[in-house]
Each structure stands twice: as structure tokens, then as C-alpha cells.
Amino acid sequence: MFDLEGEREIEITKQIKDKIKNKSELSVNKQFNVAATMSICKDIIIVVPEKIEDILKELDIRFRHVEYSIFCQSDRIETSELGDTLFIYLKDTYYIPEQSVSAAFVNYEEDHKDYDTVIHKHPDGCMSFSGTDREFINSNFDYSLLFVNKSFQTGNARIPINSEKTIYITMSAKVKVERIIKRVEIPEDQLAKIKQRIVIHGSNETIPKNTYLEYYGSRFGRYTVNQFPDLNQNKKEELNDDNIDDLFNLLNEDNDGIPDYNPKKKSWF
């Protein structure tokens, strides 16, 4: 090292080198620890109940060529396992405010203070928020969604960056409709009326049949004369309840639900 003011060379001792090295390593470790505990959100997904989508589709039938909005409320916020995706779930309730609308204009005549989400509808073909939308609609709601052509096109999230919630940043968001498949409950006494039996065809060998075509031998439901010359085609056997479990075990031997059988070789392959 050279001292520019004194114009002389300064000798760096081993003790000074060790101090510089330890300080550098400490700085690296601190940065690594902070990064290891930090989750960086890359995506925001607003999850909409299917009921809300159905409401919007019905409104679209009645008000196809104008803008309008409905208000909703967020329910909860969750993060993905890696912390890189933020899921915002909406409740399935909604409110239609008083509003004056046209093909390119909407004016709310009610306050939205009880709602943090707006779903704005555009006439078909207008696939993004306008500058007016961003200034007067998106900036006043935490979450904004755009509904066009009978589906959600985009979303927007407004996130406060100070404790007083006076400064916000906006991020684009994806929209996903939550569809819940509901099973219908059928009473057991009604289910018991359908008695399931397995019919097999063969003589000395058991040949399970799993399709209409395989069982009857042709698409027209008739046996062909020489289809299985080695087998007695006229013999059919109906299994009783005691044999059904054994047959199911046989069907599952090769994991595809039914074993392969070669009627000419009379063997499994």
C-alpha cells in the first residue's frame, strides 16, 4: 500500500490483513443470512369465487355494450410454500352500487368504503384498464379486476409501503376463478337398487370382458361364428358375491384393470 500524501510505502502487517479478511467475511455472512430468510413475491393471484363470475356473466347479458362495476370484499391472503406467490381470496358476496354508465364512461354515485375490491366491466374488445380507470378506479381500491368478453382479463393490486398507508405502489395481478366440484349425495337405499354383477365368458378359462364390443364380439352385439373356436361361446357364468372379490384381485394383477388374454394360445401374455 502506498501513502500518497507522505509519498512512502506503508507495510501491511499480517495482523492488519487478518482484520481486513475477518471484516470482509462477516459482511458476506450477514448478506447471506438476510437473503436466506427473505421471500421475494413474483406473482399476485386474485382468486374469485365461481358465484361472482356467474353474476358478471348474467350482467353481461343485460348490459353488453356499456361499462359498469360491482364491489366485492377480500376474504384472506395466503402465500405459496416458497413465498414467491401471493394469493388474495375474495368473498362470494357482492354489491352493485348506484352508477351512471355508457360505452366509455362510469360514474359511481355511492361510496365504496365498505369494499376493498372493484370488478370493472368493459365492452367487448377493450381488454385493458384505461388511463382513466387507473387514475380514478384502481387508485381507490386495494384490488381491481377487469372483466371483458365474459371472462377476467387482468387484475391490479394496490399495496401500501408506509405504516400510515399514504403511499402505495401498484402491481399487476393474475385472476383465477375458484371452481368447486360438488358431489351429489344419493341415499344408500336408492344405491342398493342397482345390483352390480360381473359376467364372464369361457369354458375352462376365465376371460374378463370390460367393454360392450369385447363381450358381444361385434359392434352390432352378435357373436361371430369363428371368433373363439377354442372356447365354448354359448356358456356364460354369473358370479355370486363370494367369487367377485377373487375376480377383482385377478383384474388388478397387472395394474391396468384387466389382464391380457390370448384366446388362440389359451394363455396370458
pLDDT at 33 over 60: no
pLDDT at 264 over 70: no
138 near 150, Cβ under 8 Å?
A: no
Domain boundaries, the chain: 43-178, 188-268
Judged by DSSP in three states, 185 sits in: coil
Which tens digits make up the pLDDT trace of 97-149? 999 999 988 999 988 888 999 999 999 888 999 999 998 899 899 999 999 99
What is the C-alpha to C-alpha distance for residues 55 and 150, in angstroms, rounded to an integer? Answer: 11
Q: With bands split at pLDDT 50, 70 and 90, how would you rate the model's confidence at 12? A: low
pLDDT value at residue 24: 55
Highest-scoring range by mean pLDDT, 8-22, 26-40, 152-166, 175-189: 152-166
What is the C-alpha to C-alpha distance for residues 179 and 59, in angstroms, rounded to an integer? Answer: 19
Highest-scoring range by mean pLDDT, 49-53, 181-185, 246-250, 256-260: 49-53
Percent of all residues in the chain with a pLDDT value above 90, rounded to a whole number: 35
pLDDT at 210 over 80: no
Q: Please compute the mean of the pLDDT values over residues 25-40 and round it to a whole number.
A: 57
Integer CA distances (angstroms), 103 to 58, 106, 110, 139, in order = 18, 9, 20, 21
Lowest-pLDDT choice from 17-26, 54-63, 70-79: 17-26
pLDDT value at residue 220: 43
CA 18 to chain centre: 54
CATH code at 43-178: 3.40.140.10
Q: Please compute the mean of the pLDDT values over residues 80-99 and round it to a whole number.
A: 93
User: What's the pTM?
Assistant: 0.56
Nearest Cα neighbor of 50 from 188, 168, 241, 181 is 181
Grid coordinates belonging to 160 = 401500501
Integer CA distances (angstroms), 236 to 26, 136, 204, 229, in order = 83, 76, 12, 16
Q: Please compute the mean of the pLDDT values over residues 237-250 and round it to a whole number.
A: 58
- Helices assigned H by DSSP within the chain: 14-36, 50-62, 131-136, 188-191, 212-216, 241-251
